[in-house]
Chain A
Amino acid sequence: MRADLELIEQWIKPASRLLDLGCGDGTLLHHLSQTKQINGYGLEINPDHINACISKGVNVIEQDLDVKGLANFKTNGFDYVIMTQALQAVMHPDRMLDEMLRLGKECIITFPNFGHWKCRWYLMNKGEMPISRSLPYTWYNTPNIHLCTFKDFENLCRQRNLQIINRTVVDRSHQHRWFIHMWPNMLGEIAIYHLSR
């Protein structure tokens, strides 16, 4: 079990309705259906991931968020809408956030922190866009078109009047480290936010 999924699990109430945007091979939904008896659906566009979901018995719907958005889903149709490591790759993250909180009472979002000290050091030292193990792309071929720092994200939440119920900051392997919490925007690599309207 991936550490970030374990962190998410503790926030999910049993037997809830859940939508996972970019659900990958369905690991999270499969796990939650076994431990929390959730009624979950995943959106995905990668054919191999879709097959993997089907093989696991995970409900998966082929839908491209950037093309179709989420307009086909009913307001308040879900208890939770989850997006792991994909917000930075969508066309309009701000609108996506609004949509997620239209569909779900709460949403859970994870994304990489562009304000991590290694990114800052890379840019300051080399004068080039940072490349790392968690952000392995070059600027021209990266799917991550809307990178942000934790601070940026929280500014957006404040601007949109979104409530941050929980926030956890972890390192690349999704482990808690005591020192991260001293200066999360500098020391945290991945953030997991739990939001509501």
Chain B
Amino acid sequence: MPETLPPDSVGLVKPQTVIFDAPLTLQSGRALPSFELVYETYGTLNSTRSNAILICHALSGHHHAAGYHSMDERKPGWWDSCIGPGKPIDTQRFFVVCLNNLGGCHGSTGPQSINPETDRRYGPDFPVITVKDWVQSQVRLADHLGISKWAAIVGGSLGGMQALQWAIDLPDRVHHAVIIASTPKLTAQNIAFNEVARKAITTDPDFHAGRYHEHNTIPKRGLMLARMVGHITYLSDLSMGEKFGREMREKAFKYGFEVEFEVERYLNYQGERFSENFDANTYLLMTRALDYFDPAKDYENSLVDAVSQAKCSFFVAAFTSDWRFSPERSEQLVNALVEAGKRVCYAEIDAPHGHDAFLIPSPRYMDVFSANMNRIADEVNA
């Protein structure tokens, strides 16, 4: 909780909600009759509407990317390190929009919402959403805000995938795509980890085939396990070693199976906290969206052909210690962009924090990110 707001904070912010009444046909063939999106904005839209940036969130993210909801809030938005006055995404120059994606559990229409056709919660009946679907829903938001072309679409991890999909699907509406710690598709190992997470949730006796709310319970243990295994993939061996090593709560072994090592305590704590704040059905949806993401599939598995649709310029960044979406995954994308003759800059940032590095303001990362965003601001006259 801040006593006073830091000068480089966007300050106190308030989420807004917009309702879209026209049905949204999804990639699966199903449709949502109507939907709501919750979003936040920071900075000011200029008179030519050229300075708007869309922030796309990752698996467990939401619309609250920067600033504080109240002076009592413990922590600022999830990407406060990069959004604010003088930060890489400088709110003195840009108008920043961040939404909670469709299927989410922080206010946008998702499995916890009431299905107008049945008057009960969607729960497991909520349609499977893809990255392409998210992009279509975000187009509605752009239209609502009167933004015909984003100065940039920026995202880390799953957020970067949305930026890439925008560039391919709506080439005239994106000036620049910023894709950080992401990948043009998941590997078998990535999908395997997602399956472990989903299995943990769906085999929890409290899951009740996704209708846990109707049984007044939540699959807490499953969600907790899912988060614990996910969390390990966000860190690196090095960062875990530095943070916890083999530290123990007490010096002597207890010769039992209770939590003894600090890393165990940490993972349990993270899992527990997450399981109280996140919806299990949303977790299933988000991991599936990750698995399905493969824009090359629409172009006979040619990533070069897929990115050839794009008209924007690209900034791609990866982190050396990220083994979830390693630099090789980003390089695959960069190679395709070069082959397609697209404008692209690529930075491989030496950082020890694993996949989570995209959230951590390390100096090299901030420098290169700022250089790129400043150039975009100049190009769009922000």
Spell out A's residues near B (CB within 8 Å).
Answer: 17, 39, 41, 47, 50-51, 53-55, 57, 59-63, 72-74, 77
Contact = CB atoms under 8 A, between A and B. Distances in A.
Given A62-B347, A62-B348, A54 B371 contact: yes
Contacts, number: 49
Interface string B324-361: 00000001001100110101111110000000000000
Interface residues of B, number: 21
A77 B371 contact: no
B249 interface: no
A61 B339 contact: no
Q: Is the interface of A mostly helix, strand, loop or mixed?
A: mixed
B367 interface: yes
Nearest to B327: A62
B346 A55 contact: no
Interface string B346-382: 1110000000000000001001100110110001000
Nearest to A57: B375
Contacts of A63: 346, 348
Contact of A61 (B334, B375, B379): B334
Nearest to B363: A47
Nearest to B318: A62
Contact of B372 (A17, A54, A73): A54
B348 A41 contact: no
B144 to A, nearest CB: 32
Contact of B343 (A50, A59, A72, A74): A59
B364 to A, nearest CB: 6
A72 B334 CA distance: 10
Interface in B128-178: none
12 contacts: A41-B338, A50-B368, A51-B368, A54-B375, A55-B375, A59-B344, A61-B344, A61-B346, A63-B346, A63-B348, A72-B331, A74-B339
